[in-house]
Amino acid sequence: MKSLIFKISLGIIIIVLAYFVYESVMQPLRFNKKKEIRETEVIQRLKDIRSTQLVYKRVYKVYAADLDTLIDFLKNGEIAVVNIIADPEDTTFTMTISDTIGYINVGDSLFRYRSASLIDSLKYIPFSGGQFFTLDASKVKKGGLQVAVFEASALFKTYLSGLDNQSVVNLIKSKEDMDHFPGLKVGSMLEPSTDGNWE
């Protein structure tokens, strides 16, 4: 009888240990899969902010310093549609004539084949419960010149909220230990770069 109880107890212990081993392997895999899904959406939103900032800078020569300005620009701003043709009097075909043939709405130009609600949701970090991206713009001195810069960002703890807390804490700590930004960002307030830290 004692032998049977011992075997049953041992079987239960083995099953429990096997479950914990399985979970210790699967938990990081599940976290990484959910993290990748969320990061894909956050990165796309940051790319949209970058695209809008680049057009804004082309029009105003500076970057927008807040998201509401960018959204207003997408809704109400216009950019010229230019027809560029070779100068018929230039036999080398190096000279061109630019002719503005009309104007198009910035939002229609940048997000033509995407949802119209994207413009209004541009400032919201996906999966954050309604929190906003951080956006800043200024000028820095590079090579004796004042150069326009911007940075848009979202912290890991913001868009990964609701996932395994310890995995999020470990991710943040690993980035901070390497002196990296603990989240996703595009642009830089220190140098004229429009790269994302995921690129």
Q: Find the range with the poorest average confidence among 24-33, 89-98, 131-140, 166-175.
A: 89-98
pLDDT at 81 over 80: no
**148 lies in some domain:** yes
Residue 146 structural domain: 33-187
66 contacts 135 by C-beta, under 8 angstroms: yes
Q: Find the range with the poorest average confidence among 35-49, 97-111, 159-173.
A: 97-111
Count structural domains, the chain.
Answer: 1
**28 lies in some domain:** no
**17 lies in some domain:** no
**141 lies in some domain:** yes
User: Shortest CA distance to 70 belongs to which of 86, 52, 54?
Assistant: 52
Express each pLDDT in 149-187 by its tens digit.
999 999 999 999 988 888 888 888 887 766 788 999 999
Q: In the structure, what pLDDT confidence band is assigned to residue 194 with cuts at 50, 70 and 90? A: very high
**19 lies in some domain:** no
d(C-alpha 175, C-alpha 179), whole Å = 6
Express each pLDDT in 119-130 by its tens digit.
889 999 999 999
* Residue linked to tokens 């100068």: 87
